[in-house]
Amino acid sequence: MSDSKDVYLKQLVKQYGDTIAVNGINLEIPAGSYCCLVGPSGCGKTSTLRMISGHEDVTEGSITIGGQEVNQVPPAQRGTAMMFQNYALFPHLNCLDNVAFSMKMKGVSKNERYASARKYLELVHMETFERRFPAQLSGGQEQRVALARALVSHPNVLLLDEPLSALDPFLRVKMRSELKRFQRELGITFIHVTHSQQEALALADFVVVMNDGNIEQVGTSQEVFNAPVNQFVAQFVGGHNVIEGEIIEIKDEREVLLEGGNGQRYRVPVQGNIGDQVTFALRQDKIFLKKGSPADTNELQENSLKGKIALIEYKGMEVSLGLEVPEFKEFGVILSEKDFQMLSPDLGTQLIASWSKDDVHVLQDLPAKS
pLDDT tens digits, 69-122: 999 999 989 999 998 877 789 999 999 999 999 899 889 999 999 999 999 999
Kindly report the number of other CB atoms within 10 A of residue 39's CB atom.
27
Looking at the chain, the whole-number percentage of residues with pLDDT higher than 70 is 96
The pLDDT value recorded for residue 298 is: 54
| DSSP annotation string for 281-296 | EEEGGG-EEEE--TTT
24 and 61 Cβ atoms separated by less than 8 Å:
yes
Confidence of residue 367 (pLDDT cuts 50, 70, 90): very low
The pLDDT value recorded for residue 163 is: 87
Q: What are phi and psi of 178, to 5 degrees?
A: -65, -45
- Per-residue pLDDT reduced to its tens digit, 336-354: 999 999 999 999 999 999 9
The pLDDT value recorded for residue 294 is: 55
| H-helix or E-strand spanning residue 50 | helix 45-53
The pLDDT value recorded for residue 292 is: 78
Judged against a pLDDT cut of 60, whether residue 296 lies above it is answered with no
89 and 165 Cβ atoms separated by less than 8 Å:
no
Overall fold of domain 7-231: Rossmann fold (3.40.50)
The pLDDT value recorded for residue 341 is: 94
Burial of 107 (0-12, 13-18, 19+ CB in 10 A): exposed
Judged against a pLDDT cut of 60, whether residue 297 lies above it is answered with no
Q: Mean pLDDT lowest for which of 39-43, 153-157, 165-169? A: 165-169
Tell me what percent of the chain is helix, strand and coil, each rounded to the nearest 5. 30, 35, 35
User: How many Å apart are CA 269 and CA 357, to the nearest integer?
Assistant: 7
The pLDDT value recorded for residue 344 is: 92
Confidence of residue 171 (pLDDT cuts 50, 70, 90): confident
Question: What's the mean pLDDT in 174-183?
Answer: 89
14 and 44 Cβ atoms separated by less than 8 Å:
yes
Question: What's the mean pLDDT in 139-166?
Answer: 90
268 and 362 Cβ atoms separated by less than 8 Å:
yes
The pLDDT value recorded for residue 237 is: 94
- Higher-pLDDT residue of 309, 369: 309
The pLDDT value recorded for residue 79 is: 92
Judged against a pLDDT cut of 50, whether residue 202 lies above it is answered with yes
The pLDDT value recorded for residue 365 is: 60
The pLDDT value recorded for residue 258 is: 95
Judged against a pLDDT cut of 70, whether residue 366 lies above it is answered with no
User: How many Å apart are CA 197 and CA 171, to the nearest integer?
Assistant: 17
36 contact partners, CB below 8 Å, separation of at least 6 = 192, 193, 194, 199, 200, 203, 204, 206, 207, 208
Distances (CA, A) of 138 to 90, 120, 133, 143, 167: 15, 18, 11, 9, 9
User: How many Å apart are CA 260 and CA 327, to the nearest integer?
Assistant: 8
Q: Mean pLDDT lowest for which of 139-148, 235-244, 293-302? A: 293-302
Residue at 232: amino acid letter? F
Distances (CA, A) of 70 to 13, 76, 157, 202, 279: 15, 11, 13, 30, 42
Mean pLDDT, the chain, integer: 91
The pLDDT value recorded for residue 168 is: 83
Question: What's the mean pLDDT in 179-197?
Answer: 93
User: How many Å apart are CA 316 and CA 337, to the nearest integer?
Assistant: 7
**Ranges in the chain annotated CATH 3.40.50.300:** 7-231
Judged against a pLDDT cut of 60, whether residue 182 lies above it is answered with yes
Judged against a pLDDT cut of 60, whether residue 369 lies above it is answered with no
**Ranges in the chain annotated CATH 2.40.50.100:** 239-362
Write down the pTM of the prediction.
0.89
CATH class of this structure's domain 239-362: mainly beta
Question: What's the mean pLDDT in 175-204?
Answer: 92
- Higher-pLDDT residue of 89, 165: 89
